[in-house]
Amino acid sequence: MKVAILSSIAWRTPPRKYGPWEQVASHVAEGLHAKGIEVTLFATTDSVTNARLEATCKVPYAEDLNVDPKVAECLHISNLMEKADEFDIIHNHFDFLPLTYSRLVKTPVVTTIHGFSSPKILEVYKKYNAHTAYVSISNSDRNAGLDYIATVYNGIDSADFPFEANPLDYLLFFGRIHPDKGTSEAIEIARQTGRKLVIAGLIQDEAYFEQKIKPFIDDTAVVYYGNVGPQERKILLGNAFALLHPVSFDEPFGLSVAESMFSGTPVIAFNRGSMPELIQDSKTGFLVRTIEEAIQAVGRIGQLNRSDCRRWAEAMFSKDKMVESYIDVYKKILSTE
């Protein structure tokens, strides 16, 4: 089986810091390669892989404003599609745009839908619904107007997140700093529980950060570590008393939630989107609906066993399980071709 993995070129694959789509694409490519499958990763030139690398974009466009994203994306996607007959399967991790090529090539295309950035893009997904295969990253993120071949949860490399049995006492917010992710709510939860809050993540909404977050950063009660890389991430997650995930949108998956549980750190999350699928309520964390409920949940974290978090994460969200599930998807598609 020859598989082409089409990654995003906003960031490097795997990302140096932020880049969830690129991280998942990397884990799929490396996992398939480790199983002896012939894999070609289409990503940025600086990407790191044990598989074969194909690249047209020298610098991730999110890292260099001189790169025109539309031009870079067109060159990147067309580079794969013009070589489509070299592969048995094209696995698209690059949203809806590659679908517009899918009727022009004979190679079957499977698309992992990493969430819907806007209802407007559904028009493209619906147009190619009958011609391609869609994979959802959680059952909750499925759209009723689309058909899906499978749900495959995002996989984590357990080696990247060692278990920590003896955490420190700070609360952690880890993710995009954006109103959707609830950074401001995390500050309020920490303030009312009297615990230190550590914030780490990419600032995606500058105005929100300046108005709602920055005024509370004092390097004592609230500390901002910036957009951290893998080494800092695993330390912050492992040493946290709990991860706060007070999202105000329907979370498609939530990589930091799974990573936290791998580390043994329970999660307090607003009960939106995929959170009931990721978190075992009252066992690996708490599902809440309000800031007040989240404050109460902080006081109950001591009732949870951190080993349960690790066991649950390994059973549900391992890289190996994800890769095996995608192999099953490929076989199912090829058997019907």
Same domain, 138 and 189: no
The pLDDT value given to residue 200:
98
Provide the pairing of β-strand 89-92 with 133-136: unpaired
Cα radius of gyration rounded to whole Å, the chain: 20
The pLDDT value given to residue 283:
98
Instruction: Compute the C-alpha angle 177/175/67, nearest 5°.
Output: 70
Q: Where are the beta strands (DSSP E) in the chain?
A: 2-6, 38-42, 52-54, 89-92, 109-113, 133-136, 150-151, 171-174, 197-200, 222-224, 242-245, 267-270, 285-288
The pLDDT value given to residue 320:
97
Run means of pLDDT, 10 residues per run, the chain, 337 residues: 97 96 98 98 98 97 94 98 98 97 97 93 97 97 97 96 97 97 98 98 97 97 96 97 97 97 98 98 98 98 98 98 98 91
Q: What order do you get walking across the sheet with 285-288 strand by strand?
A: 222-224, 197-200, 171-174, 242-245, 267-270, 285-288
Main-chain dihedrals φ then ψ at residue 207, nearest 5 degrees = -65, -40
Q: Are 186 and 197 in contact (CB under 8 A)?
A: yes
> In the numeric block, which tokens belong to residue 318?
């391992």
Same domain, 246 and 279: yes
Same domain, 179 and 217: yes
Same domain, 122 and 184: no
Same domain, 241 and 330: no
Domain residues for the domain of 304 are 158-316
Same domain, 103 and 218: no
Same domain, 126 and 173: no
Q: Are 154 and 253 in contact (CB under 8 A)?
A: yes
Buried b (16+ CB within 10 A) or exposed e, 197-236: bbbbbbbbbeebbeebbeebeeeeebebeebbeeeebbeb
Same domain, 202 and 283: yes
The pLDDT value given to residue 228:
96
The pLDDT value given to residue 202:
96
Same domain, 94 and 128: yes
Same domain, 291 and 247: yes
- Of 177, 163, 271, 288, nearest to 222 (Cα)? 177
Digit-coded pLDDT (tens) for 150-167: 999 999 999 999 999 999
Cis peptide bond upstream of 14, omega within 30: yes
| Rounded Cα gap, residues 161 and 230, in angstroms | 9
Using the Cα atoms of residue 62, residue 65, residue 71 and residue 72 in order, give the sign of their dihedral.
Answer: negative
Amino acid identity of residue 20, one-letter, is P
pTM metric for this prediction: 0.95
3-state helix/strand/coil string of 118-160: CHHHHHHHHHCCCCCEEEECCHHHCCCCCCCCEECCCCECHHH
